[in-house]
Structure 1
C-alpha cells in the first residue's frame, strides 16, 4: 500500500499476537524457589512409602539443610508432603486426593437400597463410603430398628481411610502399593483414632484380606465394633465400602458372620453387576 509521500507502508501487527516461541523467563527468586520446591517434592515421591530424611533430601537435591526445611514447611502446609515417623517425609494426602477421580454422583442412590436391606435384616445402622484420596467419605446411611442405634458417622463425614469398617474393607481391597500410599499419607492423623498406628493398620489390612471382610472396634468410636465389605465396581475394581456398626456386646463373632452374609446377599441381589 502506498502512502501520500510515496513510501510504502506495511500493516502493523496486532498487539494481541504472541510470538511462536516466547523468550525465556528471567530466573528470578520466585521461579528459582518453585524449581527447588519441585525438586524436593520429586525426591520425596521417588522415595516411596518409607520417605526420606532431611539429610538424604539435602544430598538428593544439592541444597542446604535450612533451605530444605523451608521448602518442606510449605509442602507440609499444602498437604503435598507428610511426616513419616519422626524423621522422614513421604507423599502427602493432597497428592493422593488429586490422583483419585470423584465417584459418580449416583453411587449414593444405588447403595441406599443395599443399606436398607442389610439394616432391616440386622436392626442396626448401615453405612456406605467411597474413597477420596486417602480419606473415606460417607455418602449414605440407613438407621435400623433396634432401640439403640450407633450412628458413628453422618453423611458427609470424612476420616482417614481404614479407621472405620467400611473404609478398612475398601483399603484392603486396593492394590498393595495404593493401600501403602494411603496409610503413609494418613500417618499423622491416625493416632487420633483410638491410638491407631500405621503398623496396626497394616495388620488389620492383612487380616481383612485373609478373612474377606473387615472388623474393627474401639478406634473410630470407643465401645463400638463394626464389620464391613468392599463393593466392586462394574469393572471389578473396588468402588465403595459398606458397614454395620453396633455396641461390642451386640457383635459376637457369630453375629458378625450373619451380618456379613446379609451384606453379600444384598449386593448379589441388588447390584449383581457391581456398583
Structure 2
C-alpha cells in the first residue's frame, strides 16, 4: 500500500540476513522507507547500507514485548506510520527427532517463531489501528465501492511460515514444524479479527531457501542432506531469498486488496 503523500513505510524483522534482508532490499527498490530490525544490530546496519531509500536499523528481540514495542515506536517516531510489515525473524532449532529433542530447544523455537510473531502482530496492528486509511490511487477504486472492501487500507502484514507449516519435512524438527503451523493459525485469526478495520494479514510458506540459517542447519544434518533437499523439489533446486521477497512485496501491494488470511506457497513445485 503506497501513499501519494509520502513514501510508504515497511518494517521487516529478521532483516539482518537471508529472506528478511532480500525483502528489505526489494521494498527499498520499490520506493519504500525501511525499518530494518534484527537481534543482530550490526547485521541490520549492513542491510541498511544496501538500501536505496531512507531507513533505520533497529535492534529487536522478538521474544520480548518491551523490545517489540520499542521497535514499533522507533519506526513511528522516524517515519510517522507503518504501512507494511514482514515478520520474518525465526530460527530452525536442532535437527533432532522428538525423542532426542531437549525441552529447552522446543521452548526456544516456539518463543522466537510463535510468540515472536504474536508480539509483532500485537504491536504492529495496534499502531495500524491508529492510522488513517490510505488509498494509493483513489481514482482506481472510485467506481468500485462494492467490489473492493479495502479502498482505505490501514496496513498490510505478512508473516513468515514455511512449507513445513503445511506438512512434515525431512530433517526439519517437530518444534520447527509446529511453530510454522502455529504461524498460519495466528495469520488467519488476525486477518479475521481486523479485516473490517482495513488491515490485511497473510503468510508466505517458502520451502528451503539459500540463506545463512539454512546452511548452518545443513552443517548439523546428515551427509548428503543438501543434495536430497534440492532433488526433492520438482524445480531441481532450492529457493533464492529474492524469490520469496517478491511474493512478500506482492502480498503487501495494491495488487491484491481482497486477499487476507491466506498463505502463499513458494516451493518449486512441492
* TM-score scaled by length of structure 1: 0.26
Q: Give the structure with the higher percent strand.
A: 1
* TM-score scaled by length of structure 2: 0.26
Q: Which has the larger radius of gyration?
A: 1
